[in-house]
Structure 1
Amino acid sequence: MIRSILIGLVAGMRSMAPVAVASTAVARGELEESGPMALLGHPAVSTGLSALAVAEAMGDKLPFAPDRIVIPGIAARIVTGALAGAALAPREQRKVAAVLAAGAAVAASYWTFRLRVRAMRRYGQARTGVVEDALVLAASQYLVSGAKGDRR
C-alpha cells in the first residue's frame, strides 16, 4: 500500500507520468491485471497515456503553462493518482489505495508547486522542469518495478 501512496505523491508533480508508467508495465505483462484494471494494459491506452505524459512534460516548460494547482490540474491528479495507486495495490486493497493515492496527489500538488515556484526564481522554468521530469520518471519507474512482488 505504501507504493500506492508514494505513486500518488509523484502524480502530484506530474499527472500523467505515473499512470503512463503503470500502464506500460501492465501492457508488458510486468503487472498482471484483470477486470477493469486490465484496460490500462491495452496497447492503445498505454500508447495514449505515454503520449500524454510526454506532452505534459513538454508543455510544462512553456511560459504560459497553467499551474498544477488550478482545478483541472488537481482533478487530473486525483484521477491519475487514483488509477496508478490502484494499479500498484493488491486486488483486495485497490479501493483504499486509490483513495489514499488521490489524497497524496492533491497534497503533493500544493507542496511541490510551492517548491517549484521557489526553484524557478533561481533556476528558471525549463531547468526546474527538466529536473522535476527526471525525478518523476525515476520515482515512477522505481515504484512500479517494485510493485509486482508487493501485490502477491
Structure 2
Amino acid sequence: MIRSILMGLVAGQRGMTPLAAIAAAARRGTLPAGAPLQGLMAHPVIAGGAVALAAVEMAGDKMKTAPDRIVPIGLVVRSITSAYAGAALAPRGQRAAGAALAVVAALGASYVGWRLRCAAMGKYGQTPTGAVEDAAVLGSGLAVALTPR
C-alpha cells in the first residue's frame, strides 16, 4: 500500500504524471497481477497519450497564466488520477483502500506542495522552481511505479 500512498503524493504535485508512470509500469510489467486497465495502459497509443498529457501539464505549469494546483478542477483531476494509480499499484483485494489512500495523500500534498512552491517562486521564479519540481515528481513517479513489488 505504500506505493499507492507515494503515487498519491506524486499526483498532488502533477495530476497527469501518475497516468504516465502507470502506463510505463504496465508496459514494463511491474504492476501487481490483475491491475485495473493494465492491458489498456500498456497499449502504445494509450501509454503515449498519457506521457503526452503529463508533458503538456509540466510545460503549462511554467506559464504565468497557469492556475494553482488547488483550484477545484485541479483537485478533481488529482483525485481521479491518484485513485486510479493507487488502485493499480495496490495488491488484489486492497485496491479500494489503495485508491482511497492515494486520494487522501494527493489532496494533502496538493496544498503542501502549493505553499512550498509559492514560497520558492518568490525567491527563484516560476520556471526554475517548476523545472526542479518536475524532475522530482517525474523521477519519484517512475521510481514508485517501476519498482517491482
Q: Say yes or no: TM over 0.5.
A: yes
* RMSD after superposition: 1.4
- 1:135 corresponds to: 136
* 8 Å contact from structure 1 (residues 9, 101) kept in 2: yes
Deviations 1:28-81 (A, max 9, x none): 333255474222222222111110000000000000001100011000000011
* 8 Å contact from structure 2 (residues 26, 41) kept in 1: yes
* TM superposition shift of 1:9: 0.8
Change (3 A) 1:34 1:126: same
- 2:11 corresponds to: 11
Instruction: Supply the AA of the counterpart residue of 1:2.
Output: I
Instruction: Supply the AA of the counterpart residue of 2:103.
Output: A
Percent identity between the two aligned chains: 51
Instruction: Supply the AA of the counterpart residue of 2:19.
Output: V
Q: 5+ unaligned residues in a row in structure 1: which ranges?
A: none
Greater mean alpha carbon deviation, residues 27-36 or residues 44-53: 27-36
Matched, 1:95 2:93: no
Q: 5+ unaligned residues in a row in structure 2: which ranges?
A: none
- 1:20 corresponds to: 20
- 2:65 corresponds to: 64
Q: Work out the CA distance in 2 between the residues paired with 1:65 and 1:109.
A: 15
After TM superposition, the structure 1 = structure 2 runs for residues 43-62 of structure 1, keeping only pairs within 5 Å, are 43-62=44-63
Q: Which has the higher helix share?
A: 1
Report the TM-score when normalising by structure 2: 0.93
After TM superposition, the structure 1 = structure 2 runs for residues 101-112 of structure 1, keeping only pairs within 5 Å, are 101-112=102-113
- 1:82 corresponds to: 83
Instruction: Supply the AA of the counterpart residue of 1:27.
Output: R
* 8 Å contact from structure 1 (residues 26, 33) kept in 2: no
